[in-house]
């Protein structure tokens, strides 16, 4: 009886560089399995951080509605000054900007969620051994939950501006997938870099901020300046962010071919970055002490 | 920083970094540590701060991997590196049980079935539905420990967390630890030697990442540790109206009184000679000798007036000899503190704390600082 008991017991072995020994494709299988096994942990942490963040606030969850409304007010104001010459975008400019910036926010949210994968759980990471991939998904879920609420507010505001979203909006969840892949890919790398080299992570952050201005979301893509035009064309986010926006307001993808290429590249980048995270994180964690 | 980037870039291109060699300015946090522990065994780890104790526990619980060597663990690990990992202060005790339980690797159903046991053990009462931020540190420890205990691990790893909490609960925890060793092995860190002595079956003394003592003679291990690393900090206080000129210790057994710490056998006669001066204005005084153990608890005291001995100031150096017949101090390490005060003990002229370290040699008897011998007979 005792023998079978011993045989049934899980044997854990810790060795140096264990994760390197896993094959390139095997790592993704292991990581996916870890995520599935951690679903309860993801849910518990999500609950903790999502609901608890509004627990001690007077306005509570209504805070989520305040941000998009303030956003639209500022764009309407800027538009009234006549300072902005966005070009013809086919719909009222504030509505155009609102959807565009919220898609940009979605992308940045994916990036930031991934970037905080290690730091958000810093205290936990040093105390308990668990699959840290779970934190990426918890962070992303939290971001999506916040996004979803603002998304509905935005749709209502669109209707106020007499822009009726197209029925193709049902493809929206699919269309934003590459935004997640790209955001998480850069974010996971930034997450590790932020622990070993703070300077580089600051540069990444600033670069991400600048990217918004070379993506046609607060202006139309018909820019007269040739340099700007070519930057926009080479910027993958132009295709990814604008497609997410266009599927809602125009019911089509922005340059389907460009979008598709960026989709595939983002996916590959994500897989590489995920693998890198998996083999490197334990070395990185040693530096968090 | 540079090494971190090098490692990260190497990983990017799939190059393994050789972790078995040190680079410039690196050092081994732990080196050549090796032990086996079976079910029923309790390994106590002691060492000064920074000796690698927590790092060892983190390696064992899989928080980060070793750079060389191998760790093999059979069964479920329950690690309590710090109590209440992930507790959210704004959530209630009830919600935190589920949260913390999940973090420690229990399923929701498992927590549900053990919920009542967890809460009962933690003795939270009505606080269960209050936010954890309103808990005292003792209550937090109780709840956190209770959750970890109910994981029912095969290997339980406990960092020094039972320092907080009232005595009653501590006792309960140590009893619980002893109880789970029927099914599990326990590895724990403590700075509290009596607890290590009471429950450990094996001991590991770490110093700068190396094992300096290892074995199942726990008392010898603790003795080794305290004599090597826990030198008492001597300090002087008081009004300064008395000054010690000389202090000499000797025993009948061994005359090598210059050794530090001073050593004598259990139940040997101890002699203390004190040469001191009192300020001219002071007529008389009281001297007390106190033996403190390594936890700085007073183990035994001796007052000159209680032995009907009076100390009169005649202006010259006063020389007193104190003889302790068959000193019954428990084998272990002590420090001697000399206090010179006025008759009412209102004014302390001089308190010389830890003037000498004393080591009582002998085999293990019991836990109390004084081990009396008496005449036993049948009646």
pLDDT digits (tens, 9 = 90+) for A57-97: 676 667 767 777 777 787 778 777 776 666 667 787 778 88
Domain ranges in chain B with CATH number 3.40.50.300: 29-229
Which one is predicted more confidently, A190 or A59? A190
The H or E element that residue A120 is part of is none
pLDDT exceeds 50 at position A2: no
**Closest to B315 measured CA to CA, from B289, B284, B340:** B284
Count of domains in chain A?
1
- B77 with A48: Cβ contact below 8 A: no
DSSP annotation of A218 reads S
Q: How far apart are CA B88 and CA B99, in angstroms?
A: 9
Q: What is the pLDDT of residues B210-238, one digit of tens each?
A: 888 898 888 888 888 877 776 667 888 88
Residue A94 lies in a domain: yes
Give the number of beta-carbon pairs within 8 Å between A and B: 133
Q: Which residues of A touch B86 (CB under 8 A)?
A: 45, 48, 123-124, 128
Tokens of B198: 């009471």
pLDDT at position A5:
46
Is residue A9 in a domain?
no
Contact B177, B188 (CB under 8 A): yes
pTM, rounded to two decimals = 0.75
Residue B45: the pLDDT is 92
The answer to whether B62 contacts A125, with C-beta atoms less than 8 Å apart, is: no
Q: Say if residue B184's pLDDT is above 80.
A: yes
CATH number for the region B29-229 comes to 3.40.50.300
**Percentage of chain B exceeding pLDDT 70:** 94
Residue A180 domain-assigned (yes or no): yes
What pLDDT does residue B258 have?
66
Contact B72 A12 (CB under 8 A): yes
* A190 within a domain of the structure (yes/no): yes
- Six-digit token string for B313: 């100031």
B97 CA: distance to closest CA in chain A (Å): 11
What's the mean pLDDT in A256-284? 90
Kindly indicate the confidence band of residue A1, based on its pLDDT and cuts at 50, 70 and 90: very low
Region A266-281: mean pLDDT is 89
| A107-157 per-position pLDDT tens digit | 999 999 998 888 877 777 777 888 888 888 888 998 898 888 888 888 888
Prediction ipTM score = 0.75
- In this structure, is residue A227 part of a structural domain? yes
* Owning domain of residue A100: 22-286
Indicate where chain B has its CATH 2.70.50.60 domain(s). Answer: 235-361
Provide DSSP, A61-117.
GGHHHHHHHHHHHHHHHHHHHT-------SS-HHHHHHHHHHHHHHHHHHHHHHHTT
pLDDT mean across residues, chain B: 85
A126: nearest CB among B63, B76, B105: B63
What whole-number distance in Å separates Cα of residue A240 and Cα of residue A217? 11
In a domain? residue A162: yes
Whether the pLDDT of residue B300 is over 70: the answer is yes
Quick check: A19 pLDDT over 60?
A: yes
Nearest CB to B12; choose among A40, A276, A286: A276
Give me the residues of A, 61-120, that contact B with CB < 8 A.
none
Tell me the average pLDDT across B100-120: 89
The H or E element spanning position A205 is helix A198-211
CATH topology for B235-361?
Coagulation Factor XIII; Chain A, domain 1 (2.70.50)
Q: Which residue of A has its CA nearest to B148?
A: A128
Q: What percent of chain A has pLDDT over 90?
A: 16
Residues 122 to 161 of A: which have CB under 8 A from any B CB? 123-130
Instruction: Please give, rounded to a whole number of angstroms, the shortest distance from the CA of A39 to a CA of chain B.
Output: 10
| pLDDT band, very low/low/confident/very high, at B78 (cuts 50, 70, 90) | confident
- Quote the CA–CA distance of B265 and B361 in Å, as a whole number: 5
Task: Give the Å distances, CA to CA, from B292 to A4, A238, B295, B371.
Answer: 52, 75, 8, 15
Evaluate whether residue A6 is within a structural domain: no
The pLDDT of residue A182:
94
Contacts of A200 in chain B (CB under 8 A): 5
Residues B84-102 pLDDT 10s: 777 888 888 888 899 888 8
């Amino acid at each position: 009886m005792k023998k079978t008991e011993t045989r049934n017991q899980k044997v854990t072995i810790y060795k140096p560089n264990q994760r390197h020994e896993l094959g390139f494709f095997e790592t993704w299988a292991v990581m996916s399995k870890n995520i599935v096994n951690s679903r309860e942990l993801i849910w518990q942490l999500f609950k903790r951080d999502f609901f608890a963040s509004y627990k001690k606030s007077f306005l509570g969850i209504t805070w989520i509605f305040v941000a998009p409304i303030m956003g639209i007010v500022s764009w309407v104001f800027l538009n009234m000054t006549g300072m902005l010459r966005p070009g013809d975008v086919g719909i009222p400019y504030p509505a155009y900007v609102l959807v565009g910036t919220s898609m940009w926010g979605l992308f940045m949210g994916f990036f930031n969620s991934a970037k905080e994968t290690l730091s958000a759980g810093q205290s936990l990471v040093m105390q308990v051994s668990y699959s840290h991939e779970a934190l990426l998904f918890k962070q992303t879920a939290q971001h999506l939950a916040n996004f979803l609420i603002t998304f509905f507010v935005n749709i209502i505001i669109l209707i106020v501006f007499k822009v009726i979203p197209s029925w193709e909006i049902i493809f929206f969840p699919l269309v934003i997938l590459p935004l997640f892949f790209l955001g998480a890919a850069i974010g996971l790398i930034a997450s590790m870099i932020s622990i070993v080299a703070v300077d580089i992570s600051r540069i990444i952050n600033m670069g991400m901020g600048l990217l918004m201005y070379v993506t046609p979301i607060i202006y139309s893509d018909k820019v007269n300046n040739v340099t700007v035009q070519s930057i926009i064309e080479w910027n993958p986010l132009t295709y990814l962010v604008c497609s997410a926006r266009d599927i809602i307001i125009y019911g089509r993808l922005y340059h389907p071919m460009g979008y598709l290429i960026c989709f595939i590249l983002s996916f590959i980048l994500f897989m590489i970055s995920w693998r890198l995270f998996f083999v490197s994180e334990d070395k990185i964690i040693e530096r968090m002490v | 920083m540079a090494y971190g980037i090098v490692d990260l870039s190497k990983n990017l291109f799939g190059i393994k970094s050789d972790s078995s060699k040190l680079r410039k300015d690196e050092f081994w946090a732990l080196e050549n540590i090796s032990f086996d522990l079976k079910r029923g065994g309790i390994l106590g780890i002691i060492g000064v701060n920074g000796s690698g104790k927590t790092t060892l526990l983190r390696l064992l619980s899989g928080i980060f991997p070793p750079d060389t060597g191998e760790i093999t663990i059979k069964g479920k690990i329950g690690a309590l590196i710090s109590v209440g990992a992930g507790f959210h202060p704004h959530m209630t005790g009830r919600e935190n049980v589920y949260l913390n339980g999940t973090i420690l690797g229990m399923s929701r159903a498992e927590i549900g079935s053990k919920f009542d046991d967890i809460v009962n053990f933690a003795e939270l009462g009505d606080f269960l539905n209050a936010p954890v931020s309103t808990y005292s540190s003792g209550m937090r420890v109780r709840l956190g420990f209770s959750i970890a205990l109910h994981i029912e691990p095969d290997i339980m790893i406990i960092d020094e967390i039972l320092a907080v909490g009232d005595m009653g609960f501590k006792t309960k925890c140590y009893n619980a630890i002893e109880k789970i060793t029927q099914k599990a092995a326990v590895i724990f860190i403590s700075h509290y030697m009596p607890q290590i002595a009471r429950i450990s079956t094996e001991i590991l003394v770490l110093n700068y990442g190396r094992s300096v003592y290892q074995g199942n003679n726990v008392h010898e291990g603790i003795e080794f540790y305290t004599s090597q690393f826990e030198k008492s900090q001597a300090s002087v206080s008081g009004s300064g109206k008395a000054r010690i000129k000389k202090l000499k210790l000797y025993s009948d057994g061994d005359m090598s009184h210059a050794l530090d710490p001073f050593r004598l056998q259990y139940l040997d006669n101890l002699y203390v000679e004190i040469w001191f001066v009192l300020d001219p204005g002071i007529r008389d005084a009281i001297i007390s000798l106190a033996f403190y153990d390594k936890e700085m608890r007073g183990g035994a005291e001796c007052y000159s007036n209680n032995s009907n001995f009076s100390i009169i100031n005649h202006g010259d150096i006063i020389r007193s000899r104190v003889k302790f017949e068959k000193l019954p101090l428990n084998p272990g390490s002590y420090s001697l503190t000399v206090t010179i005060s006025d008759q009412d003990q209102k004014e302390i002229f001089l308190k010389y704390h830890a003037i000498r370290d004393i080591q009582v040699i002998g085999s293990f008897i019991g836990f109390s600082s004084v081990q009396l011998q008496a005449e036993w007979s049948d009646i």
